[in-house]
């Protein structure tokens, strides 16, 4: 084997390993898109609010947007929401915008929003919204699932399960 | 030889080093591509809430959920029906563990094994497809949407039975069993 041939083979092996790594990595995370592409898919989403009016997610572009997939039947989802309300109150003026996507019935969502004094909009998402969360890395389509987008609309963080207050704080401090 | 030996060695050694580097690059790419944060090794709902059933006789089925440790099901979200009819079958669910929920009030949950008798109203023929809807959560702090699982059961002749237990989601064979 000539040195040239040897290095060609090594090169081929390297590319194959890299490709395999990317492929299996994507399969594991369920995210075939780049942060920009995934962010664009999310921004292009239009869902009804509890009153039935369609709302596009890109109306908040330019802000730091935290999209939280939740449901009233999901106790861990409800438990973290008071922290989101607090953060919205503290940092809303600096351009932080929480948006809920409830995989739930509108009447239950409205009732719960009133009960906890929700100070940010929440939209109603069905199975399509869950499928979207799957494409963003939530492969089991479980809740809560939270996505943080920077001011350019690129996804900078995804979180399955509770987004801990300290983590949330450190992410938004960097972005605001 | 270290995994990332430099290229000062002999030619075969260099080839090995480069191959090792390629492997490292490959595994790095795995890390880069998986952006979803801190997946706490959650089971898919069909594995967390394993559904199986058997025919006790020609008019009675027995449905079972084996709830994996660290997971729980909501009692009021459990439904049974026959495909393709899909009308809810009235069943007597065993009592669950009562939890006080801030929003819903008293909520009952199941852990471990749940066994439910499912009566069949009219003579359904030689076999039935039992459909079970369930919804539950993991103690790790996530909830699953409602999950539908099905089993096809051959019904025994009148006076005979019970039939074998049928799993909705057969256990995967892996290297350890």
From A43, A47, A66, A77, active-site residue: A77
As given in the structure block, the two tokens for residue A93 are 């003026």
Q: Is the pLDDT of residue A168 over 60?
A: yes
- Say yes or no for a CB contact (<8 Å) between A75 and B31: no
More confident residue, B48 or A22: B48
Residues A80 and A164 in one domain: yes
Q: Is the pLDDT of residue A118 over 60?
A: yes
Integer Cα distance of B135 and A60 in angstroms: 33
Q: Is the pLDDT of residue B65 over 50?
A: yes
Give the model's confidence band at B45: pLDDT under 50 very low, under 70 low, under 90 confident, else very high.
Answer: very high
- Residues in chain B with CB shorter than 8 Å from the CB of A37 are none
A97 is catalytic: no
Give the model's confidence band at B176: pLDDT under 50 very low, under 70 low, under 90 confident, else very high.
Answer: low
DSSP conformational letter for A168 = H
pLDDT at B6: 35
- To the nearest whole Å, the CA of B59 is away from the closest chain A CA by 34
Assign residue A91 the CATH number of its domain: 3.40.30.10
CATH entry 2.60.40.1250 includes domain B45-167: yes
| HEC profile of B123-152 | CCCCEEEEEEEECEEECCCEECCCEEEEEE
The angle subtended at Cα A76 by Cα A74 and Cα A80, nearest 5°, is 120
HSE of B130, CA atoms in CB hemisphere, 13 A: 28
**CA A98 and chain centroid, separation:** 11
Q: Which helix (H) or strand (E) holds B66?
A: strand B60-67
Q: Which of these ranges, A100-109, A154-163, B40-49, has the smallest mean pLDDT?
A: B40-49
Q: How far is CA B80 from CA A45, A102, B134, in A?
A: 34, 26, 9
Instruction: Read off the pTM.
Output: 0.75
Domain that holds residue A71: 35-175
Query: ipTM of this model?
Result: 0.77
For residue A168, the tally of other CB atoms under 10 A from its CB is 22
Residues A139 and A58 in one domain: yes
More confident residue, A128 or A117: A117
Residues A7 and A48 in one domain: no
- To the nearest whole Å, the CA of A50 is away from the closest chain B CA by 18
Residues A113 and A165 in one domain: yes
A74 is catalytic: yes
As given in the structure block, the two tokens for residue B137 are 């959560």
pLDDT at A1: 56
pLDDT at B4: 37
A–B interface: beta-carbon pairs under 8 A: 128
pLDDT at A140: 92
Integer Cα distance of A103 and A161 in angstroms: 15
Residues A62 and A104 in one domain: yes
- To the nearest whole Å, the CA of B18 is away from the closest chain A CA by 7
Q: Is the pLDDT of residue A88 over 50?
A: yes
Cβ contacts of A13 within 8 Å, gap of 6 or more: B18, B19, B22
- Residues in chain B with CB shorter than 8 Å from the CB of A29 are 33-36
Count of domains observed in chain A: 2
From A33, A40, A74, A130, active-site residue: A74
Chain A contacts in chain B segment 47-106 (CB below 8 A): 74, 77, 101-104
- Say yes or no for a CB contact (<8 Å) between A31 and B19: no
| Domain boundaries along the sequence of chain B | 45-167
**CA A136 and chain centroid, separation:** 7
User: Strand, coil or helix: what is A150?
Assistant: coil
Q: Is the pLDDT of residue B40 over 70?
A: no
- Say yes or no for a CB contact (<8 Å) between A28 and B135: no
Q: pLDDT tens digit string along B113-165?
A: 999 999 998 767 889 999 999 999 999 999 999 999 999 999 998 888 899 99
Percent helix, strand, coil in chain B, to 5, is 15, 40, 45
- To the nearest whole Å, the CA of B74 is away from the closest chain A CA by 10
Q: Which of these ranges, A81-90, B28-37, B50-59, has the smallest mean pLDDT?
A: B28-37
Residues A5 and A60 in one domain: no
Residues A66 and A138 in one domain: yes
Residues A41 and A64 in one domain: yes
Cβ contacts of B42 within 8 Å, gap of 6 or more: A140, A142, A160, B48, B138, B140, B142
Strands in A64-70's sheet, in edge-to-edge order, are A122-124, A96-102, A64-70, A145-149, A155-160
């Amino acid at each position: 084997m000539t040195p040239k041939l040897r290095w060609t083979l090594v090169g081929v092996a390297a590319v194959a390993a890299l490709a395999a790594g990317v492929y299996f990595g994507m399969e594991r995370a369920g995210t075939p898109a780049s942060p920009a592409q995934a962010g664009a898919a999310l921004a292009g989403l239009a869902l009804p609010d509890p009153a039935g009016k369609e709302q596009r997610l890109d109306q908040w572009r330019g802000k730091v947007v935290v999209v939280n997939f939740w449901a009233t039947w999901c106790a861990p989802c409800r438990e973290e929401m008071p922290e989101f309300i607090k953060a919205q109150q503290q940092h809303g003026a600096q351009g932080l915008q929480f948006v809920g996507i409830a995989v739930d019935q509108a009447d239950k969502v409205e009732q719960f929003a009133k009960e906890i004094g929700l100070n940010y909009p929440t939209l109603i998402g069905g199975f399509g919204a869950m499928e979207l969360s799957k494409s963003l890395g939530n492969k089991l389509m479980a809740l809560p699932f939270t996505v943080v987008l920077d001011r350019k609309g690129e996804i900078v963080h995804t979180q399955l399960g509770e987004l801990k207050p300290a983590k949330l704080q450190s992410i938004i401090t960097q972005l605001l | 030889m270290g995994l990332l030996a430099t290229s000062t060695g002999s030619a075969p050694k260099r080839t090995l080093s480069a191959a090792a580097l390629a492997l490292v690059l490959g595994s790095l790419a795995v890390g880069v591509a998986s952006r979803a944060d801190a997946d706490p090794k959650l089971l898919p709902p069909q594995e967390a809430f394993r559904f199986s059933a058997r025919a006790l006789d020609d008019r009675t089925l027995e449905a079972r959920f084996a709830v994996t440790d660290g997971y729980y099901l909501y009692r009021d979200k459990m439904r049974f029906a026959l495909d393709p009819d899909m009308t809810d079958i009235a069943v007597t669910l065993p009592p669950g563990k009562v939890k006080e929920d801030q929003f819903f009030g008293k909520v009952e949950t199941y852990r471990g094994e749940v066994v439910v008798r499912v009566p069949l109203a009219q003579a359904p023929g030689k076999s039935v497809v039992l459909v079970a809807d369930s919804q539950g959560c993991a103690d790790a702090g996530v909830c699953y949407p409602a999950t539908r699982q099905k089993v096809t059961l051959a019904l025994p002749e009148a006076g005979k039975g019970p039939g074998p237990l049928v799993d909705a989601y057969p256990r995967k064979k892996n290297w350890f069993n």
